[in-house]
Structure 1
Amino acid sequence: MTRRVRTRIAPSPTGFLHLGTARTALFSWAFARHHGGDFILRIEDTDVARSTQEAVDQIIAAMNWLRLDYDEGPFYQMQRLDRYRAVIDQMLAAGTAYQCYCTPEELDAMREAQRARGEKPRYDGRWRPEPGKSLPLVPAGMKPVVRFRNPIDGDVTWNDMVKGPITISNRELDDLIISRPDGTPTYNFCVVVDDWDMQISHVIRGDDHVNNTPRQINILRALGAELPEYGHVPMILGPDGDKLSKRHGAVSVMQYEEAGYLPDAMVNYLARLGWSHGDDELFDRRQLVSWFDGSHLARSPAQWDAAKLNWVNAHVIKQTPDAELAARVAMLLASRGAPVAADERLSRMCALFKDRCATVVELADWLGMYYFDVSPRDEDVAQHVTDAVRPALQALRDRLAAIDWDKGTIAFAMKEILGAHGLKMPQLAPALRVLVCGRVQTPSIDAVLELFQRELVLRRLQGV
């Protein structure tokens, strides 16, 4: 790199941080970290009518949850209005921007006439100053917009990090509005000034911005600014090939935390949506940063796969320290009405059950049997708690009331009861599970019972 790498993520606080923006943030963060550069958070809040503080808070919370730490920011565009206006004044003075007094009705009529002629609707430049050109009279009392004086001839070409060389003719671009009648600057202009002032070296963003890029490059050139490199990543599609939407799971990133996904799993999965490192499917942040040099970004859209995310999350859960899982489960159980300490006992429960779970919510569901009443299904009771097993269950209850409460002693007591009643473990264990745990299948029953309070087990076996 000939200049210091500086990347940014610039979400608009008009809604939650969605998966596509989270992936772009991840790519920008990993690229900056790989090259020892800086990652910047910028809040593009010039859409005053739709921007909310709640959305800002949610964006920052999502970045923190994903552990995408930023070196600078958050910067807010609405706090930079004086800077934008100063640059617009400079451009007006330099002749690279001009005032336009077209009314909305005139613009509508202009586009209608162009469509009728089979032309692409665009601003026709009637207020654009040219040598020897007579401009219309300025309407009294009307506030103008400010338009960028886009070059008429030539092309805009850049070597996209993802798509390769892209060329767009300047004749395809009209004169972009960069300031509204009330003086509020527009998106494409604010982005340019921000990237210029913040010395952004690489812009990684969704390919829905490709059409904005030539306009932004032309404005940067008009300002004499150094251009960043651009990389436009394809969108994420749903499993059916349509644009990812809420019905596919395109909800707030923070809703994935609520659903029991771990941030390391989400980072791993999002990174693989549009980027690869050989055949590696599972990796940690350190490996991601080591590998993410900006190459191997896919040109084709990635498809969201909820089952694959669950698979990755299950793997991360297995690798997560039990004490960390216990802290997360304790919060979930507390939200359900069971204030539980994230102690050694809860850690042991997590160790026993985590291999069966794709999410932390599933883990909390399993462990709920230790803290909440269970309601076995009638059909399970009828199938497993039979007249042939009941005497053994009664005898086992009496035996459990008098022994040391540990896995080995519980297992020995069960073995003795089986021998005395001529039964096999596949007859006794399911009945025990149904009555004590409320379900037919669990890990090894002696290990499961050890983690219960003895009194709770005896109570659930009472009156068999």
Structure 2
Amino acid sequence: MATVARFAPSPTGMLHVGGARTALYSWLHARQRNGRLVLRIEDTDRTRSTPEAIEAIFDALHWLGLDYEQPAVFQSERETRHREAINQLLAQGDAYYCYASEEEVEAMRERARALGNKPRYDGTWRPAPGKTLPEPPPNVAPVVRFANPQSGTVHFSDSIRGEVAIDNTELDDLVIARGDGTPTYNLCVVVDDLDAGVTDIIRGDDHVNNTPRQINIARALAGAEAELPRYAHVPMILGADGARLSKRHGAVDVLTFRRDGILPAALLNYLARLGWSYGDQELFSVDELVDKFTLETVQAKAAVFDPDKLAWVNQEHIKTADPAALTDELAWHLRVFGVTDVDQTRLAEIAAVQQKRARTMQDMARDSLYLFQPVAAYDDKAVRKHIRTGTAAVLADLRERLMALADWHADALGATVQAVAGDHEIGMGKVAQPLRIALTGTPVSPPIDQTLALLERETALTRLDDAVAAFADDSDETGNA
């Protein structure tokens, strides 16, 4: 049977890192087996689901590169099918109408607690041979409850947790349709998984308690001998304080990581390693994850999210990436800073120069703004330190030699700067630093030959003209000799 995994987020907020990790594990599992990943938007909570959250899920998955079978499935559009399944269960005697109010059900639970038992619905309205049911109260819209088996054990094999067994006496008859007829989560998810032919359900371990209930519903709908999905319950992600990861721990929304300059490949690498390992290897390409990842090697204990470790993984990915692979993210961050319409070749050239220095793609974009924006002012501290009497003359000489160059390439540019330093009998730094300030406004940039090459001839010469004029005045005022 072909592998069909699914990712089923609820659009009541942005896609968070826990959901992204579940999507990644599901995607990897399907991709390894040449299978399919179904995206199902579980939007039946009409009061909390929002179009903005749905769009954010699509955007996050697209950014991460986690493709899925098109089109996505919207659970809210399948209500007719869900009602059919409820009617099937009612007809089979596997579900029944319950007229107990919320207050009555809570009273049942309180009585059970008082007796030291598990709080639960007591089955008042559950039909049974020889049982006389109460008279339905007038003007009460009943809920529909699933008639959970009252004996036996639910067994399932969890790829992460191992063998799990739950006695049916631990499970009460859950509501599968509300009083207004709308189906509930546990019914909908079973029907949707069966109809989609899902073979593998990979989800957070907060769903473990739902699994035996859903298995019983699935068997009632599909038959006792039907082949049901395999399960893998992924442990939660904790913050450094041991509490479940939340907004108070920092960025948990996937798209926040993009805004912070994290590469999608780096985030996938880090998320995969949250609870999974392959020897001592820390850095993985996406292709390596597809090759090496297995659910069986995911740890059952919770993982701790470490922002510093993610930052390290990100920097390593930036350093080692093919520059062409960085251009989309560099262009995105440049647009945030107001720089648009930069062609791919130039973006790749910039990335190749900046990637050894940048911790994030945001840093890379910020540190490249001097290429696109005029120097508004020179760093005052840098001017006081590096601009001396005679600096303007040195830069004027350099400007003339640069203008005469036939080829505007890093090697020739670097050799020209060195020649000027030698001819003026000064250290290389006494040319390079004033030149760097002239070109960028600051004393920090990539190697000076690459800084010149990236700026291109006309821009560099114009900025040198401006600096020669500015530093001629400044050198007199500073009094540096």
The question of whether the paired residues in 2 share the 8 Å contact of 1:9 and 1:41 is answered with yes
Give 2:183's aligned residue: 185
- TM superposition shift of 1:172: 1.6
Give 2:479's aligned residue: none
- TM superposition shift of 1:278: 2.1
Counterparts in 2 of 1:460 and 1:298: CA distance versus 1, 3 Å: farther
The AA in structure 2 aligned to 1:102 is A
- TM superposition shift of 1:122: 1.2
The question of whether the paired residues in 2 share the 8 Å contact of 1:196 and 1:226 is answered with no
- TM superposition shift of 1:421: 4.4
Q: Distance in 2 between matches of 1:256 and 1:250?
A: 7
Which of 379, 382, 394 is the equivalent residue of 1:380?
382
Q: Distance in 1 between matches of 2:202 and 2:320?
A: 31
Give 1:438's aligned residue: 441
- TM superposition shift of 1:370: 1.8
Q: Mean alpha-carbon deviation: is it higher for 419-428 or for 257-266?
A: 419-428
3-state SS in 2 of match to 1:350: helix
Q: Distance in 2 between matches of 1:196 and 1:339?
A: 47
For residues 77-116 of structure 1, the aligned pairs below 5 Å read: 77-116=75-114
Q: Distance in 1 between matches of 2:292 and 2:282?
A: 13
Residues 115-166 of structure 1: per-residue CA shift (max 9 Å, x gap) = 3444332111111112222222101111100001112222222121101111
The question of whether the paired residues in 2 share the 8 Å contact of 1:162 and 1:297 is answered with yes
Give 1:36's aligned residue: 34
Q: Distance in 2 between matches of 1:287 and 1:331?
A: 26
Gaps of 5+ in 1: none
Q: Distance in 2 between matches of 1:451 and 1:241?
A: 47
The AA in structure 2 aligned to 1:384 is H
Q: Distance in 2 between matches of 1:242 and 1:216?
A: 28
- TM superposition shift of 1:186: 0.6
Give 2:476's aligned residue: none
The AA in structure 2 aligned to 1:310 is A
Q: Distance in 2 between matches of 1:330 and 1:72?
A: 27
Q: Distance in 1 between matches of 2:464 and 2:114?
A: 81
Give 1:455's aligned residue: 462
- TM superposition shift of 1:374: 5.0
The percent identity for this pair of structures is 46
Gaps of 5+ in 2: 472-481
Matched pairs, number? 459
- TM superposition shift of 1:98: 0.6
Q: Distance in 1 between matches of 2:65 and 2:346?
A: 29
Give 1:397's aligned residue: 396
- TM superposition shift of 1:375: 4.3
The AA in structure 2 aligned to 1:90 is Q
Verify: 1:304 aligned to 2:305, yes or no.
yes
3-state SS in 1 of match to 2:356: helix
3-state SS in 2 of match to 1:298: coil
Q: Distance in 2 between matches of 1:184 and 1:260?
A: 43
> TM-score by structure 1 length?
0.92
For residues 268-347 of structure 1, the aligned pairs below 5 Å read: 268-342=269-343, 344-347=345-348
Q: Mean alpha-carbon deviation: is it higher for 323-332 or for 32-41?
A: 323-332
For residues 38-437 of structure 1, the aligned pairs below 5 Å read: 38-223=36-221, 224=223, 225-342=226-343, 344-372=345-373, 373-385=375-387, 387=388, 390-401=389-400, 402-404=403-405, 405-437=408-440
Counterparts in 2 of 1:395 and 1:428: CA distance versus 1, 3 Å: closer
The AA in structure 2 aligned to 1:284 is S
Q: Distance in 1 between matches of 2:294 and 2:432?
A: 54
- TM superposition shift of 1:408: 4.1
Counterparts in 2 of 1:241 and 1:397: CA distance versus 1, 3 Å: farther
Q: Distance in 2 between matches of 1:419 and 1:173?
A: 86
Residues 3-57 of structure 1: per-residue CA shift (max 9 Å, x gap) = 3221111111111111111111111111111122221111111111111222222
Residues 376-435 of structure 1: per-residue CA shift (max 9 Å, x gap) = 4433332333x3xx4134322343144325434443443344345443223443343334
Q: Distance in 1 between matches of 2:126 and 2:109?
A: 17
Counterparts in 2 of 1:463 and 1:107: CA distance versus 1, 3 Å: same
Q: Distance in 2 between matches of 1:250 and 1:412?
A: 46
3-state SS in 2 of match to 1:254: helix
Q: Mean alpha-carbon deviation: is it higher for 272-281 or for 368-377?
A: 368-377
3-state SS in 1 of match to 2:351: helix
Q: Distance in 2 between matches of 1:334 and 1:77?
A: 36
The AA in structure 2 aligned to 1:218 is N
> TM-score by structure 2 length?
0.89
Residues 326-371 of structure 1: per-residue CA shift (max 9 Å, x gap) = 4543343334233342254443222111111122111101101122
Counterparts in 2 of 1:343 and 1:393: CA distance versus 1, 3 Å: farther
- TM superposition shift of 1:315: 2.7
RMSD of the TM alignment (CA)?
Answer: 2.2
Residues 227-276 of structure 1: per-residue CA shift (max 9 Å, x gap) = 21111110111223221112333432222223222222222221111222
3-state SS in 2 of match to 1:204: strand
The AA in structure 2 aligned to 1:383 is K
Q: Distance in 1 between matches of 2:249 and 2:177?
A: 37
Counterparts in 2 of 1:134 and 1:457: CA distance versus 1, 3 Å: farther
The question of whether the paired residues in 2 share the 8 Å contact of 1:237 and 1:301 is answered with yes
